[in-house]
Structure 1
Amino acid sequence: MASRPDMRVVRAVTSKKKVDIEQAATLQRTGQNAYKDGDLQGAIESFTQALVANNEDTGILDNRAATYCKLKQYSQARADARAMVKLAPNEDRVIIRLDAYFSIVGSSLTLEKGYLRLAKVLCLDGNFDKARDIYEYALQKLPADHSGRELLEQLLKKLQDKLAGGNRRDPFTILPLEIAEFTLRHLSFKQVAGIMRVCKGWSQFLGGLTSLWMRVDLTGARSRVPWTSIRNYIHRSRAQLTNATITNIVPSTTSKVLDMLSRCPQLEHLELMIRYDYPKEFYLKIKDFRRLKSLVCGADISLSHACVGSILSTLSKLEKAVFLHVWDNPTTEPQLTSTWPEHLPNMKSLTIGSSQENPHGLIFQEAVYPNLEELGLVWDPARSQSFRFHLMPEKEYLPPLRILDLRGATIQSWFYSMLPDSLETLRLFSGSIGSTHLGRGTLSPGQNKLPNLKTLIFNDTPWVNHSTLAIFLLHSEAPLRTLHVNLCHNMDSAVLTEILYMLDEFNPKLKELTELGVACMAGMDDSFVKRLSEMLPNLKTLDLSQTRITGCTIRMFADARNDELAIEKLDALIIKGCDDVSRDAIDYGRQMGLKIVT
């Protein structure tokens, strides 16, 4: 901090006695020593006495200003710095080394002391704009060839960069409340909860915005969420919670969490991905959620068929219901009705899943759901078996479904005939075709043409063969954009290409197919893939997992992407389990812009 006597050029003072100047210098050294020892108040007193003896020494003023800065008394420091400027109004006045004040080790550049000290005080006090003005003014005062200009320009640039990055002010203190709230609504629940941990101020601000807590989503929590956190979320919403996704909580607190949610009269969407093994008690806790429009019960919530029926009967406003662990209960439950509701006009989406050996819980009565748009029946037993999917004999039709998802279903020969024209997506996983008078494993065509079917997925479906696939692709007029024939062991590449060769004659709309899956299809190699690409020129995604293709297929599609004359412009290629494809081929394809999933 101390100024070196040999570096100072002191203004000629004729009115001062030599003894006063020597006394001021002694007091200055005393103050500098006190500063080094940490006695800041003693340093101030010594510098003040020195100024009484010699009030025109800018070095003493500079020392006292630095000490005031250390004490964070910036107004006194600014006064001393301004006094220095007044004593040295011209650039050829008092000059001093900068390393004592700015920790620039080894620098021999000198600048006008008063302006530098004033700028530093302003920076320490947070007045960066005024400090910048001081630096700019000092540059104007210095000659163009002054040795200190380079360093001063560096200090100015550093300050300008800091200002260009913004003053880093709290955005929630400067943004209007409406804009801040609108911005926060675009963040996920996890992000909002994380922001609250930044500081106490943000926690108070976000905690007071009721609208942010209308939706609670615990998905993605890295550890178990305590029930007290859920209580706090509900409290912040003022019990006006409308959406809740509850997962990853301590199992023993499930009952308590359900009780807290029941106190939210506006709750409309509830997703429970938690463990709960008491169906009778579960119904009693759920039955009061009368405003629910959507209810999802995960695979760890075990429910009897009677309990599901009671929930559907009681919560009549439900538009979407998902029960992924339903089991048949042969015992009587007096509190629960044993039959499902007779009429659910509001139901639009229903999914029922089970893994029990006897799939009695997978019962579907079409007359109950006249407006049903999505239906999913998922059976995944421990051993290979199918459940029977059929309608009542006197009503051989389905509601106006858009999506039908059947897993493990035994369908009847007239299954195709009862598919509604409104169908847009059909997914069939495993299962079988029941015996009929036409012979086992036969699917009969119907009059419907499925004019809206865009997505058709067969996965591990053994009854898919030439005849059954031809019904969906050639007999219908489905404008498919997505077709998967994965793990269907009664299909091979020759059968598929034979059907595709007839598209022009029977269903030319299929030429617009953009996504095709032929995972694990027998005989699918480089030559058959080339035929597929020629017959389906609009393909964008192709799944060739577990087939016999080599790197030649990747090179073909990769080169086509950069060939202006090529029609096939594939975007993505899925090749999981393709052992004959080399790493070099994969790298080449990716370099050419082809997305490859391995």
Structure 2
Amino acid sequence: MNDLQAQGRACYKRGDYKQALAHFDRAIGRAASVQLLDNRSACLEKLGDLPNALKDAKTAIQTHREDPTGYLRAGRILVKMAKEPVALEIYSHGLRSVKHVGQGYEILRNTHKELLDKLSPPRSLDPMSVFPREIAEIILKQLSFKQNMAACLVSKPWCLFIRSCPDLWRHLDLSQARRKVRSAFISRAINIGRDKLTTATLHNLWDFDKALRALVLHTPLTTLSLLENGLLGDNLTKLLTPAKRLTSLSLASKMAFPADEIQHLLHPLAAHLESLECHLNEILPLAKMTDTLESLQTLKMTFDSCQHLQHFFRSEVHERLPNLRSLTVHGRESGRSVHTGRIALDACTNLTYLDISLPTISLRDLRLPATLQSLRLAATGIASTSWPAPLPPPTFPMSELEELNLEIGHMGLRGALRFLDHTTDGIRHLRKLAVRGAEFHSMHFDGLLAHPHLANLQHLHLPGLIDCRDEDAVKIINAMPRLLSLDLSETKITGVSVRHAIKQQNLQHLAVNNCSEIGIDAIAWAREQGVEVQHRMSNGEKGRKVRY
């Protein structure tokens, strides 16, 4: 066999490839080896029989996977066959299979690099080095915290660039975590964003205590949101005590706190807390729940029951919360009519936003400050809103009110009209009025449109006004020429109203969701006029898809 191999090599050197091929065939017939297969493949390559030459090269690879000879031969033949990408894959596979020692491995690595450089675009550039820094940051902001951590592994320049962008590491958002988030991920996130990480939204953690403790101790945390982590009581208080920079705390609605424990939680945070959102399973006087929170500006409370809600306001709110600017009080449905008692907020002279959603609301017991700019009143119970007749003396100084949102069931239009009538100073700045789910009465409807407080109205939302028809929509458009947006969802208007509304020069947004009488052609025409039209049907009806 050695003689045949030597004779074949001698013939190959003289250029007698056919005779060399005959010698190699006889040698392989006796005992095949990687060298013999490579020699025969070289002869076939010289003779132009590239498919058979490639077949021998592949057989050499299968015979001995750790020998670089077969990979080199196969890659060379594939390049001649104009299959450079396949050749690159062969070389890459060889680099993974061949031992990282010897001359053969070095030749394979260099050949792979040369082919890779050849296949790379002639002007291949790192996008992070080409884009302006501002554009690159905008692109990276579309990625999540976890994705930016992965992007740091692309290369050292990428890692240095991404870590130098503080805005990418300010918010650790785990609200969409589907699997348990392990402590190793939290540790790496802290190491990367350490001095920049100021906001955390925690959810579905593997070890909640360990993760929260590490964030509080090693990051300048200012905003914290806890979603369904189920940690209550003294343990949470101990974890948050070192958080001296924490200004905003949000506890998910499913984390119901006993009211007597909220005081222990808030005591170490009282000096610097500016925003608080929590859910309580019972109502206690505000004085028993917290000390004076001088820095608190935003408070959102949700109660399981509205029984004795007046206890919450037994101590004057303005004394306990002197700088309160935004207040949201939501009470859940208790299954029966509940008298919520007096809600006195008229002394809160800094309050600009108020959102009250309770099973029943009685204006007789409601005292509002003159500084309100946005007001939402929602009655969620069957009994709806109590509008005493006759109403008490005017108690609503609403001179600064800009937004009024009423969700008070069948008393909607009448209630809105009476509310507007009983304001002491008049509403000079009202820009937005929303009355949801009201029953339609033409007398109240006409009175509302003609009300002097609505002369400068720019946004009118009347969804759920079931009996509103085209003639009523035309009245709205004619009476309020300054409207920028109009919501007539769930009404009986047709394309006639849409066309009339579009003729209004100032109108920019029109919402007509669940309006079954409106044809798709009217919606398409309105969008062609440059008006943003919102039209969706919740009953599954489908029409022609139209892009803005």
**Within 1, Cα distance between the matches of 2:495 and 2:424?**
32
Aligned to 1:508: 455
Q: Distance in 2 between matches of 1:234 and 1:69?
A: 48
Equivalent position of 2:303 in the other structure: 354
Equivalent residue for 1:571, pick from 486, 505, 509: 509
Cα distance between partner residues in 2 of 1:180 and 1:30: 68
CA distance 1:444–1:202, change in 2 (3 Å): farther
Given that 2:511 and 2:534 are in contact with CA atoms closer than 8 Å, whether structure 1 keeps it comes out as yes
Distance 1:34 1:460, change over 3 A: farther
For the pair 1:406 / 2:356, whether they are aligned, the reply is: yes
Q: Partners of 2:38 and 2:15 in 1: how far apart?
A: 18
1:263-283 CA distance string (max 9 Å, x none): 336221100111426334433
Residues 141-174 of structure 1, C-alpha deviations (whole Å, 9 max, x = no match): xxxxxxxxxxxxxxxxxx8xx737x5365x56x6
- How far residue 228 of structure 1 moved from its aligned partner, in angstroms, is 4.3
Where does residue 296 of structure 1 map in the other structure? 250
Residue 412 of structure 1 deviates from its aligned partner by 4.3
Indicate which of 328, 333, 338 corresponds to 1:376.
Answer: 328
Give the distance between the partners of 1:428 and 1:341, measured in 2 at CA.
26
How far apart, CA to CA, are the structure 2 residues paired with 1:509 and 1:589? 25
Report what 2:93 is aligned to: none
Q: Is 1:339 paired with 2:293?
A: no
How is 1:31-46 mapped onto 2 (pairs within 5 angstroms)?
42=36
* Matching residue of 2:343: 390
The aligned residue for residue 115 of structure 2 is 125
User: Alpha-carbon deviations, 1:114-142, whole Å to 9, x = none?
Assistant: xxxxxxx99962343xxxxxxxxxxxxxx
Q: Distance in 2 between matches of 1:478 and 1:412?
A: 22
- How far did residue 286 of structure 1 move? 2.9
Return the letter of the residue paired with 1:223. R
Contact 1:246 1:273 (C-alpha < 8 Å) held by counterparts: yes
Look up the equivalent residue of 2:461 and give its one-letter code. G
Matches within 5 A, 1:555-594: 555-557=499-501, 560=503, 567=505, 569-576=507-514, 578-582=515-519, 585-586=522-523, 589=526, 594=532
Query: In structure 2, what is the Cα distance between the partners aligned to 1:234 and 1:244?
Result: 11
1:234 pairs with one of 169, 176, 190: 190
Q: Deviations over 1:493-537 (max 9, x none)?
A: 54233232243xx66333xx1x21112225411110011111222
Q: What is the one-letter code of the residue matched to 1:573?
A: A
Q: Is the 8 A contact 1:520 1:547 kept in 2?
A: yes
Alignment partners' CA distance in 2, 1:304 and 1:230? 29
Q: Which residue of 2 aligns with 1:81?
A: none
Letter in 1 for 2:460: L
Instruction: Please name the residue that 2:124 is paired with.
Output: 167
- For residue 540 of structure 1, the aligned residue among 472, 481, 484 is 484
Deviation at 1:579, TM superposition (A): 3.9
How many corresponding residue pairs? Answer: 471
- The Cα of 1:343 is off from its aligned counterpart by 2.9
Structure-to-structure mapping, 1:82-481, within 5 angstroms: 101-102=81-82, 125-128=115-118, 163=121, 167=124, 179=133, 183=137, 186-187=140-141, 191-194=144-147, 196-197=149-150, 201=154, 209=163, 211=166, 212-238=168-194, 241-249=197-205, 253-264=207-218, 266-276=220-230, 278-315=232-269, 316-328=271-283, 339-358=288-307, 360=309, 362-363=312-313, 365-383=317-335, 384-385=337-338, 387-391=340-344, 396-408=346-358, 410-413=361-364, 415=366, 418-421=368-371, 423-430=372-379, 440=389, 442=391, 444-445=393-394, 448-451=397-400, 453-460=401-408, 462=411, 465=415, 467-471=417-421, 476-481=426-431
Structure 1 residues 204, 184: CA separation in 2 closer, same or farther (over 3 Å shift)?
farther
In structure 2, do the counterparts of structure 1 residues 525 and 102 end up closer, same or farther at CA, with 3 Å as the change threshold? same
C-alpha displacement of 1:218? 0.6
C-alpha separation in 2, matches of 1:236 and 1:468: 57
Mapped partners of 1:102, 1:265: distance in 2: 56
Distance in 1 (alpha carbons) for counterparts of 2:112 and 2:211: 55
Q: Which range moved further: 319-328 or 305-314?
A: 305-314
Distance of aligned partners of 1:191 and 1:33 in 2 relative to their CA distance in 1, 3 Å threshold: farther
Measured at CA, do residues 72 and 387 of structure 1 come closer, stay the same or move farther in structure 2, by a change above 3 Å? Answer: farther
1:167 maps to amino acid: S
The alpha carbon displacement at 1:39 in A equals: 7.5
Alignment of 1:487-498 (within 5 A): 487-489=437-439, 492-498=441-447
| Contact 1:573-1:595 within 8 A present in 2 as well | yes
**Distance apart, 1:320 and its partner CA:** 0.7
Residue 534 of structure 2 corresponds to 596
- Normalised by the size of structure 1, how large is the TM-score? 0.63
Residue 16 of structure 2 is matched in structure 1 by 23
Q: Please say which structure displays the higher CA radius of gyration.
A: 1
Question: 1:197 and 1:19, CA in 2 relative to 1: closer, same or farther beyond 3 A?
Answer: closer
Moved more, 21-30 or 460-469: 21-30
| Aligned residues with identical type, % of pairs | 18
Q: Normalised by the size of structure 2, how large is the TM-score? A: 0.68
Partners of 2:152 and 2:159 within 8 A in 1: no
1:224 CA displacement: 3.9
Q: Label 1:570 to 1:179 Cα distance change in 2 as closer, same or farther (>3 A).
A: closer
- Cα offsets for 1:280-303 (capped at 9, x unmatched): 443333333232100001101111
Gaps of 5+ in 1: 1-17, 52-56, 78-97, 105-120, 129-158, 331-336, 561-565
Q: What is the rounded CA distance, in whole Å, between the counterparts of 1:290 and 1:123 in structure 2?
A: 55
Check whether the contact 1:31–1:46 (CA below 8 A) recurs between aligned residues: yes
The code of the aligned residue for 1:477 comes to I
Alignment check: 8 A CA contact 1:377 1:405 kept: yes
The structure-2 alpha-carbon separation of the partners of 1:420 and 1:366, relative to structure 1 and needing over 3 Å to count, comes to same
SS at match of 2:200: strand
Please say if residues 397 and 425 of structure 2, whose CA atoms lie closer than 8 Å, have aligned partners that are also in contact: no
Contact 1:347 1:369 in 2 (8 A): yes
1:484 to 427, 434, 438: 434
Matches of 1:425 and 1:466, distance apart in 2:
15
Offset at residue 45 of structure 1 (A):
5.8
The whole-number CA distance in structure 1 between the counterparts of 2:190 and 2:312 is 35
Match of 1:517 among 433, 439, 461: 461
Q: Deviations over 1:318-363 (max 9, x none)?
A: 0111113342479xxxxxx972445322111111111225254744
Partner Cα distance (1:50, 1:525) in 2: 87
State the superposition RMSD in angstroms: 5.0
Paired letter, 1:343: T
Instruction: Note closer, same or farther for the CA distance 1:358–1:49 as it changes in structure 2 (3 Å cut).
Output: closer
For the Cα contact (< 8 Å) 2:398–2:425, is it kept in 1?
A: yes
